[in-house]
Amino acid sequence: MSEGLSDSETQVGENSVGDWLESDSAPTAAINGFGNPDGPMSRGIKRPRDFLGMRFYPRTTEVYEQNVGLGQQQQQLGEPSWEVRNNVAVDDRNISTNIPYEGPNPQQVEGHGSDSASSFMNGYGRSDSSRATDILMSVSVSTDFTKIKILEFANSAMEDLITMSKKDFNPFDYRHADRMRTAGFGNNQSLPCSGYLHLEASRETAYVGMNRLGIVEMLMDSNRWAAKFADIVSRAILLAVINPGTAEYDGALQVMTAEFHIPTPLVPVRDSYFARYCRKLSPDTWGVVDISLESLFPYPASTRYRRKPSGCLIHELPNGCSKIIWLEYVEADNGLVHKIFQHVVCSGYVFGAQRWVVAIAREHDLLQALMNMTPSEGALRITPMGRVSLLKLVEKMTREFFLDASGSSTNMWMTLPLHGNEDIKITVKNRAHSFGFLGGRTIVLSTSVEIPVPPKRVFSLLSAAESRPKWDFLSQSHVIRELANIIVGSNPESRVSILEIINTTPENTDAPMFYLQKSYIDPTFAYVVYAPIDVPAMSMLLSGGDPESVAFMTSGFMMFPDRPILPGEESSGSLLTVLFHILDDAPREDHYCLSLNSLNVSHSLISGTVGMIKDNFIRGHQRSGGRRGN
């Protein structure tokens, strides 16, 4: 593979890529049952503000990391650092920098997707200067010279992608990721890192039950791309369209900016400016490739992450399925990644090609579930129209959960100002103007912990209705039963469930409540997402009503293996991210002011839940005589 980018387009034989894709030269993987071709982000605020009923003074902490071998320094923005002084929660981030605040009024900040929210950095994401860079990029790419250079870059990147898709991979054992971070593009020594950036590369080949055009459309529409890959992409903006291409996107070239994440506040987002190029390579084979534009636009915002030629080749099969070869080839600075995630992030595992392919297969499963007219299982039968409403709402809930949990620019995570809780993060969201949301300010709190059992066991505990009282405080005096479920995909554990919550205390006069829950598991990760739904809303959904009118606050869990695993393996531990989204029970006029009671309730909720989850497995671990992974 060529490390640099050529100045001219290399022509590819009309059928060379397609012929190779049709062959069995590349390894294949079965994804969700399709195992063969015949199967389916202002850096500071000078004035103090209230938070949690106390005052804090933000400033920017500048952290430098010396790259010993290369003598280069890296400047990063620090996360808020809290301490309590005389009942005042102080965040000492703006004392030394004296940088004027030029962002919007804090009350302007609203929910997810609001660009104004990005004015308040979270230490990991984007600032006002980054938004200015977005505008500068949009203007810069309009010049003819720049367009020509970007096209040259894109063509060269496509040829590199094709070359890498054909090249033999050296076996890559994730267990030795501390010694090797690159997944076998020939000789690893030919892939030098840029300063403190580490190379991560992976390739995945699989059959998925979607046609070529459906996949290309999903990748070339920035909004759909961010929505369908919400567990990997937290933010995407289309900055410019250099060439719209044909109706089938042949020759389409666009410039984008995006944040890549995993849903936890303990891992920084990766933001990048890149070109995305789609080209028809043969009658039934298409390529979509990304390439970072730092050499053309060396802006500071893009120094921690670079997308080298990354993307996919899509070969459409006669039965309507597609063979996909996905390659991820990036340089990333992982210096701010929390220690419990270092292994799975630095190895390239959680941002690897396999997760992108799995997301495509997951989209196919959703489409199949939407079209499935088979009656739901359980005591409550769901009509086809009700099925569509429930599935659409639960997908919206899942995207909301991934965004709420991430280190994205739309979140302003702060460490809970209580001693010993450095890994518990809290933020405040204003939902007063969100459509369908009746409340005002809500609290989101999250943390990630290690659990000494495989993700599958953690998933089983958290997803089963009968196990809920073992970890949910609110369910301990209630009866929980699954009224109905909709299986999504070939794995019956991946399902949408309607859970009924009945209070069994004698003095109770409350009406029953429901949880709408989405459970999903695959070899790379798992999640359980749920939201309380009242009786009128549930009745409306079951009759096929508009899911956009339903107010919800999503809570849930996400599980990764505690180490990269190879096919057929199971890790002995899990990385569990817990997130609760609750309504502030004592709202004030100041958006950032919460009562001490709200703070204490938040702390008790998340720490108590984590404790109960751990206790379940510690007791089981002791009964099994200390064996792990069972």
* Distance separating the N- and C-terminal Cα atoms of the chain: 43
The tens digit of pLDDT for each residue in 315-338 reads: 999 999 999 999 999 999 998 999
Mean pLDDT score, 421-430: 87
The tens digit of pLDDT for each residue in 160-196 reads: 999 999 876 553 444 433 333 333 333 333 334 444 7
Nearest-angstrom CA–CA distance, 309 and 320: 27
The tens digit of pLDDT for each residue in 50-72 reads: 323 333 223 222 222 222 222 23
The tens digit of pLDDT for each residue in 463-517 reads: 999 999 999 988 887 889 999 999 999 999 999 999 998 887 777 767 778 999 9
Structure tokens at 261: 């994440």
Q: Is the pLDDT of residue 29 over 60?
A: no
Show the 3-state SS of 147-213: HHHHHHHHHHHHHHHHHHHHCCECCCCHHHCCCCCECCECCHHHCCCCCCCEEEEEEEEEEECCCHH
Amino acid at 63: V
| pLDDT tier for residue 299 given thresholds of 50, 70 and 90 | low
Check: CB of residue 349 under 8 Å from CB of residue 567: no
Nearest-angstrom CA–CA distance, 511 and 33: 41
Check: CB of residue 414 under 8 Å from CB of residue 92: no
Q: How far is CA 350 from CA 61, 200, 202, 267, in A?
A: 28, 11, 11, 11
* Structural element, H or E, at residue 575: strand 574-583
232 CB burial (10 A radius; 0-12, 13-18, 19+): buried
In order of their start, the domains of the chain are 49-127 (no CATH), 141-367 (3.30.530.20), 372-623 (3.30.530.20)
Question: Checking DSSP bridges between strand 253-260 and strand 495-503, what pairing results, if any?
Answer: unpaired
The tens digit of pLDDT for each residue in 388-405 reads: 999 999 999 999 999 999
